[in-house]
Amino acid sequence: MPTEQRSGRTFDTATEAPELSAMTRRVLDSLVRRAGSGDIDALIQLRAIRAAAGHAEIRAARALVAGPGKWSWGEIGKWLDISRQAVRQRYRE
């Protein structure tokens, strides 16, 4: 299983997919083009995606703290370029 070291932590590169981010951007761009051609449903779908992404971000931050890597709120804050307090306020249960 291929791994990668970043910031003193080891990641399984088999489960990381930069292609997934690229695909997501293509989907978003496609919805923007659809909205530009007059499709109101594309805007409604973008709004739903935004809400789902926000919930996923919260779940991901909580998983980092609770997961096997046991990230601290301060470490997460450094990666997001915000303070530990802001991270805890935004993501803590």
Tens of pLDDT, residue by residue over 28-54, are 999 999 999 999 999 999 999 999 999
CA nearest 70: which of 9, 28, 24, 6? Answer: 9
pTM: 0.74
CA gap 28, 52 in Å, rounded: 13
Question: For residues 22 and 10, which has the higher predicted lDDT (pLDDT)?
Answer: 22
In a domain, 7, yes or no: no
Query: What kind and span of H or E run contains 62?
Result: helix 40-66
What residue has token string 């051609």? Answer: 37
Q: Would you say 73 and 84 are in contact if contact means Cβ atoms under 8 Å apart? A: yes
In a domain, 34, yes or no: yes
Its domain, for residue 81, covers: 17-91
How many domains in the chain? 1
Residue 13 CA, distance from chain mean position: 17
